[in-house]
Amino acid sequence: MIEITPEQARVIAAIKAAREKAGLTQRELSRMISKSHSVVQKLEDGTQHVRVTHLTAIAVATKTDPIKLYRATLPPKD
């Protein structure tokens, strides 16, 4: 079992929320970002490091403002 840090959990949640809000399956998203289905699975389960290029492609594919997607990965302000 992989230990997910709070930072990773926020990134995973932001990616999954954007995909689900767009009504896409992991397989559909993978086609749209030209990655394999297993890459999207791994992004969402925390076993694949998320790159800025991944976030950008996911934002475009899900019609999400890239800045909002990125901000969703940041820690909450105190």
6-71 architecture in CATH?
Orthogonal Bundle (1.10)
Task: Kindly tell me if the per-residue pLDDT of 10 is higher than 90.
Answer: yes
pLDDT at 1: 63
Confidence of residue 78 (pLDDT cuts 50, 70, 90): confident
Percent of the chain clearing pLDDT 70 (strictly above): 99
pLDDT tens, position by position, 38-57: 999 999 999 998 999 999 99
Three-class SS string for 13-35? Answer: HHHHHHHHHCCCCHHHHHHHCCC
Sketch the domain layout of the chain as residue ranges: 6-71
pLDDT at 73: 86
